A and B are shown apart, each in its own frame.
Chain A
Amino acid sequence: MKFDNYMTLEFPSKSTNEGFARSAVACFAAQMDPTLEELGDIRTAVSEAVTNCIVHAYPGQLGTITIRCRILKNNTLDIVIKDKGIGIENLEKARTPMFTTGGADRSGMGFTIMESFMSSFSVKSKPGKGTTVHMRRVLQRRK
């Protein structure tokens, strides 16, 4: 796959980094001249994925979260968010809207939002090894 530009971010799974991660990806995406709505969608999807790593992948401990972004030739932003945490036993259940194991302060809507806010979305997970979320957003070309 040919790309125009890329960046990689690595940071510990501290909740203070949620805002940093979504802002950093939005700053990188800004060179693609996105609309405000597109930028909002990207920020939201990244926030959901990073929060999942913090809450579910590394419960009660710190681990590393890696984000790799690439700008592909067809005005597409490609985002991979990866952790080496505990993994997801039942992916189908985890993707069910309103299902959460995260307690009363979670809504269970993370995967649903990533799926509906991005052009494509996939998640791979191995229990004990970690989880990788792969998302793409095709940006409109402004006239």
Chain B
Amino acid sequence: MHLTSYLQDGTLTVALSGEIDHHCAKNYIQSIASKIEAYSPKLCILDFQDVSFMDSSGIAVVINTLRSMTRLDGHLELSGLNAQPMKVFRTSGIDKLVKIKEEIK
């Protein structure tokens, strides 16, 4: 698991990378939740640009992040989605719950 993040003007951007599966999902969920708790952002952007593969564990990462942001009355956006993660999100209907800012074709 590798994760970088930065906070600017109340927006927390978290860049995920590599392959997201059950093996690393729990660490991602806990790590993102503690960052949201520490910074109380108005908007959280999960950047998937460097995510080369994701299974349904990525859906759990997004749902848990959405819960944390909803508790703060904040918003969640996803960006930089490659085709494979995008297909997993579409199949799950997450694209109807969360704003997808930018999709890589």
Q: How far is B60's CA from A109's CA once the two chains are assembled, in angstroms?
A: 9
Nearest CB to that of A108 among chain B residues? B56
Which of A22, A37, A54, A107 has the largest number of chain B CB atoms within 10 A? Answer: A107
Q: Digitize A5-45: 1 where CB-to-B-CB distance is under 8 Å, 0 elsewhere.
A: 00000000001101100100000000000001100110110
Q: Digitize A104-126: 1 where CB-to-B-CB distance is under 8 Å, 0 elsewhere.
A: 11111110110011000000000
Given A44-B84, A44-B88, A116-B91, check contact A107 B22 (CB 8 Å).
no
Minimum distance in angstroms from A124 CB to a CB of chain B: 21
Once A and B bind, how many residue pairs between them come within 8 Å at the CB atom? Answer: 76
Interface size grouping (class) on chain A: 20 to 34
Given A19-B21, A104-B29, A105-B25, check contact A113 B91 (CB 8 Å).
yes
The answer to whether A48 and B56 touch across the interface, beta carbons within 8 angstroms, is yes
Report if B83 contacts A (CB, 8 A): yes
Q: How far is B29's CA from A41's CA once the two chains are assembled, in angstroms?
A: 24
The answer to whether A47 and B55 touch across the interface, beta carbons within 8 angstroms, is yes
Report if A72 contacts B (CB, 8 A): no
Taking CB atoms, residues of chain B closer than 8 Å to A66 are: none
Given A15-B22, A19-B23, A54-B22, check contact A113 B57 (CB 8 Å).
no
Report if A51 contacts B (CB, 8 A): yes
* Additional 17 contacts, C-beta under 8 A, given A18-B23, A105-B57: A15-B22, A40-B84, A40-B87, A43-B84, A47-B21, A47-B53, A51-B21, A51-B22, A51-B57, A105-B22, A105-B64, A106-B22, A107-B63, A108-B56, A109-B91, A112-B91, A112-B92
